[in-house]
Amino acid sequence: MTKKWGQFVRNWMTKKMDIPQDVMMDLPRITMVGQIHIYIENHRGLITFSDKELRLLLKKGQLLIKGKSFVIKTILPEELLLEGNIDQVTYINE
């Protein structure tokens, strides 16, 4: 199956079966509460962490979060809850 055909099938199934795109497309789901909490689902692992920066590996690219006073409240194989003062959330497509 070619890459384009596989993408077409996933898009079609998502629309017809009413399945969330993040599930079918293997995308991260990011939920923020103000600037103090960020919950990331469907990541591939922690790359770096400090009290000012967190970098996560995604299926395609990385997620960079910058701010202050970061504390990881929950970390599971594909889920992470970060608390602190979040200033910037950037998707890096590498």
pLDDT in tens, the chain (94 residues): 566 777 777 666 666 666 555 555 578 999 999 999 999 999 999 999 999 999 999 988 999 999 999 999 999 999 999 999 999 999 999 7
pLDDT of 28-53, one tens digit each?
999 999 999 999 999 999 999 999 99
Cβ atoms < 10 Å from Cβ of 38:
22
pTM score, two decimals?
0.75
Q: Which of 67, 45, 42, 69 is nearest to 55 (CA)?
A: 45
Interatomic CA distance for residues 75 and 93, integer angstroms: 23
The CATH code of the domain at 28-92 is 2.60.40.2000
Q: Which of the 8 DSSP states describes residue 44?
A: -
